[in-house]
A and B are shown apart, each in its own frame.
Chain A
Amino acid sequence: MPTSDDKPTPNTDEPVTGAEADKAAEIAAAKAKAAEEVPPKNPWEEKPVAPTHSDAMDDDDVVALEGLVVSADLFTGAVTATVDAEKILDVCRFLKEERGYAFLVDLTAIDWPEREEGRFDLIYWLHRHEDSKRVRLRAILGEDQTIESVESIWGAANWMEREVYDLFGVIFENHPGLERILTWEGFNGHPLRKDFPVEGIDTGAAIYPDVYPPGGGPIVPEEGEGA
């Protein structure tokens, strides 16, 4: 049984009085107003929207490079221009001397063992101080191919190229001293290649082989020691 405190239950059979209709309209209006006033959600409250790729062939630097760029892609605000690996020296020299890219931020590689166009991507990440613009060059390289060193253009490339050589096995031609840098001379393999096992390889390096037998196992006690 509804008590007097309860709201009257709406009954569609009864004729709606004028006062009730006004009230309903008022509530509806208030609801509509409230819906309008809900502030737009802050960006951190919404589901993130992943950035998308777009074509960047109309970028100034890509246009300036004319026919040297194979394709250009814009993603998260950075242009990635794919260039011919054989022309990398010309492209880099042009970008430094004509376009003001005096600063090589980073040089690295990516390994795509299954890819048909070529196994390695070499990435050059350049910076221009005048307007703080950056451009990324990508050169595709086959497994047996070599690439010209850009050490003569940016001194910073020296160690970065050594690192790429060490970890990926890419050979840079005309590099002043292409030696291993993070692993040691004589190390077998290139660790950042995808076919190199994560758990590592047996390098043959043994510390005190008499005490710690190769391949693990119990420690051999020295003579006169132990039980």
Chain B
Amino acid sequence: MMNGPERPLFDVEEMEISFGPQHPATHGVLRLQMKLDGERIVEAKPIIGYLHRGTEKLFETMTFPACIPHTDRLDYVNAAHNNQGFCITMEKLLGISIPPRAAYLRMILAELQRLASHLVWLATHAVDIGAITPFFYTFRERDEILDLFEEYCGARLTLNTMKIGGLPFELPQGWLDRCAKFVDAFPAHIDEYETLLTTNRIWKRRTIGVGVISPEDAINMGLTGPPLRGSGVEWDIRKVFPYDRYDEVEFDVPIGTNCDTYDRYLVRIEEMRQSIRILRQCLEKLPEGPIMAKAPKVLRSPEGMVYGSVESPKGELGYFIVATEKGTTPYRCRVRPPSFVNLQALPQMVKGSLVADMMAVIGTLDIVLGEIDR
């Protein structure tokens, strides 16, 4: 039995460490200033801005169509949704309605991009936690998606493949068959990833109960996308404000119950299955017809403020455009980046947890610094 006053074995002192910006687990150039009590995080403060390129300022100097290639560079693993968000906002502003074929093709591209983005998330998230194998599997399928993109528009990452009023190119011959082949094969690959992780004991120990955020806090902190749905709030822009032709396809919005990293993982896995479901319906329903609406060559805006948003793989990606009468450039173009708002909840989610859990939480928020810093 111990006698005398209890003394700690080591000196208990808060230690300050800087994590990042050059660290593979931060998914870019995120820096975290952490105060640690041993292995426990007392406080974590994200410091961002290392990738700030002034995109919003640049938008103000460019004509509306010229902005689209710059949107690619915001969330660079997810270019199609960035294009789509900008285009639907501009179409709202100019009163353009796009042909059904263009809308369906956009949905096909967007859902393929969602799969590609979720695959990057799964790969990096798993690597951060220590499971290296899924990386090789997911990047194999991601490459097939990027091949499809390359065949369609020539680019693999920065697609720049949507125009205000529709799409610039018709599909190459045989593209739909190859896409359908991929869609048919993909569910088996999701099962493959799940055999590696879902019931894996280490994976579960590393994710269950980590980074818990209650639905009330999630709403208060403005979380959107899978982090919000993982906390049990059923909210998807594709359902509540359907854009393009999302009101014509059937899909479910998966939600979690335990508000933790494991549930967010399950939500995203299920989202991939739902994307496949949407893709199947799109390929089946894809109508014939033009791919470009009748839009003037030089776009001149009416005066006003407009906001349009899409459900990007990270959450609600919104564009807020202020236009002047007969203007050809946006007076102000604000991007509402989902990662920026989601990252804000990080200090709350990691408080009191281990440093190692920080990697799990950064991974589960699925942040992209290009979009955060703009």
Q: A residues touching B (Cβ–Cβ < 8 Å)?
A: 42-53, 75-76, 78, 80, 102-106, 108, 110-111, 123, 125, 129, 132, 134, 136, 154-156, 158-160, 167, 180-184, 191-192, 196, 198, 200
Are B305 and A44 interface neighbours, CB within 8 A? no
- Chain A residues closer than 8 Å to B340, beta-carbon distance: 159
Are A76 and B336 interface neighbours, CB within 8 A? no
Are B222 and A154 interface neighbours, CB within 8 A? yes
B168 beta carbon closer than 8 Å to chain A: no
Are B318 and A105 interface neighbours, CB within 8 A? yes
The verdict on A106 contacting B336 (CB below 8 Å), with A132-B240, A154-B220 known, is yes
Counting contact residues on chain B (CB < 8 A from A), the size range is: 35 or more
The verdict on A110 contacting B95 (CB below 8 Å), with A182-B49, A192-B57 known, is no
B95-116 interface bits toward A, Cβ cutoff 8 Å, 1 = contact, 0 = none: 1111100000000000000000
Contact of A159 (CB < 8 Å), options: B165, B303, B344: B344
Give A46 Cβ to nearest chain B Cβ, in Å.
6
B309-323 interface bits toward A, Cβ cutoff 8 Å, 1 = contact, 0 = none: 100000010101010
Are B332 and A136 interface neighbours, CB within 8 A? no
CA distance A20 to B233 in the complex (A): 75
Are A156 and B57 interface neighbours, CB within 8 A? no
Are A43 and B97 interface neighbours, CB within 8 A? yes
Give B292 Cβ to nearest chain A Cβ, in Å.
8
> Nearest 6 pairs between A and B by C-beta?
A156-B222, A44-B293, A50-B302, A43-B97, A182-B49, A132-B240
Are B57 and A76 interface neighbours, CB within 8 A? no
Are B373 and A182 interface neighbours, CB within 8 A? yes
Contact of B295 (CB < 8 Å), options: A48, A51, A78, A136: A48
Are A125 and B320 interface neighbours, CB within 8 A? yes
B58 beta carbon closer than 8 Å to chain A: yes
- In the complex, residue of chain B having the shortest beta-carbon distance to the beta carbon of A50: B302
Are A102 and B307 interface neighbours, CB within 8 A? no
Are B305 and A75 interface neighbours, CB within 8 A? yes
B334 beta carbon closer than 8 Å to chain A: yes
- Chain B residues closer than 8 Å to A46, beta-carbon distance: 294
- In the complex, residue of chain A having the shortest beta-carbon distance to the beta carbon of B301: A50
Contact of B49 (CB < 8 Å), options: A49, A80, A110, A183: A183
Are B221 and A108 interface neighbours, CB within 8 A? no
Are B344 and A110 interface neighbours, CB within 8 A? no
- Chain B residues closer than 8 Å to A48, beta-carbon distance: 94-97, 293-296
CA distance A181 to B163 in the complex (A): 32
- Chain B residues closer than 8 Å to A155, beta-carbon distance: 217, 220-222, 344
B22 beta carbon closer than 8 Å to chain A: no
- Chain A residues closer than 8 Å to B290, beta-carbon distance: 44-45
Are A102 and B95 interface neighbours, CB within 8 A? no
B48 beta carbon closer than 8 Å to chain A: yes
- Chain A residues closer than 8 Å to B97, beta-carbon distance: 43-44, 48
- Chain B residues closer than 8 Å to A123, beta-carbon distance: 305, 320
CA distance A37 to B243 in the complex (A): 32
B178 beta carbon closer than 8 Å to chain A: no
Are A156 and B341 interface neighbours, CB within 8 A? yes
- Chain B residues closer than 8 Å to A45, beta-carbon distance: 290, 293-294
Are B331 and A156 interface neighbours, CB within 8 A? no
CA distance A110 to B322 in the complex (A): 8
Which chain B residues in 329-362 approach chain A with CB under 8 Å? 331-332, 334, 336, 340-341, 344
The verdict on A49 contacting B58 (CB below 8 Å), with A76-B306, A136-B307, A182-B374 known, is no
- Chain A residues closer than 8 Å to B166, beta-carbon distance: 44
CA distance A188 to B374 in the complex (A): 19
B37 beta carbon closer than 8 Å to chain A: no
The 18 listed contacts between A and B (C-beta, < 8 Å) are A44-B165, A44-B294, A47-B296, A48-B293, A51-B95, A76-B92, A76-B93, A78-B306, A105-B222, A106-B320, A110-B331, A111-B332, A136-B305, A155-B344, A167-B56, A181-B49, A182-B49, A192-B57
Give B343 Cβ to nearest chain A Cβ, in Å.
8
Having A48-B294, A51-B92, one finds 15 other A-B pairs with CB under 8 Å, namely A44-B98, A48-B97, A50-B93, A51-B93, A78-B307, A102-B219, A102-B220, A103-B222, A136-B305, A154-B222, A155-B222, A156-B220, A156-B222, A156-B344, A192-B332
- Chain A residues closer than 8 Å to B320, beta-carbon distance: 106, 108, 123, 125
Are B344 and A191 interface neighbours, CB within 8 A? no
Contact of A103 (CB < 8 Å), options: B56, B219, B293, B318: B219
Give B312 Cβ to nearest chain A Cβ, in Å.
14
